[in-house]
Amino acid sequence: MLLAGGGFAVFIVATDDSVEVHRPAGGPEVVVQAYVDAVNKRDPIGLQNVNCHASSEYPATRSVEGFIRDNVRISLGKPTTGPGAGAFFEAEVSRAAHPPTTTRLELNREEAGTWCVFVTGHGLPPDLPP
């Protein structure tokens, strides 16, 4: 009976749609650098761990496939200001079929005190054209 119960528990975990996230320890500078590294290294787990809205609907693996296809590269710039209590950094994003674009990365502080990067389901800042 114990074996059957264990098998049932494994089935529930394996079919759960939640996304397990492990935020990097540190302030916004650490988290934004982890985001840039995840994009440039094509690291879906690293991307998932810094994304404010990681989800099974828009998995980081799909974002990474897009980074590869579009040859996405991000260069981190200096901290900058923005609205609210978040942290902001300039960044230059280069992609195939698009000129290099300077954008602003927005980071949010979560209730637990950890930081995350606000990006779209494609893993990129929301102000970039598709």
For domain 23-118, the question of CATH label 3.10.450.100 is answered with: yes
Predicted local distance difference test score (pLDDT) of residue 18: 58
The average pLDDT across 56-68 equals 93
Can you give the pLDDT at residue 101? Answer: 95
Confidence (pLDDT) at 17: 46
pTM of this prediction? 0.83
Residue 76 in contact with residue 91, Cβ under 8 Å?
yes
Q: What is the pLDDT of residues 37-46, one digit of tens each?
A: 999 999 999 9
Domain range annotation of the chain: 23-118
- 52 CB-side CA count, 13 A: 20
Average pLDDT for the chain: 86
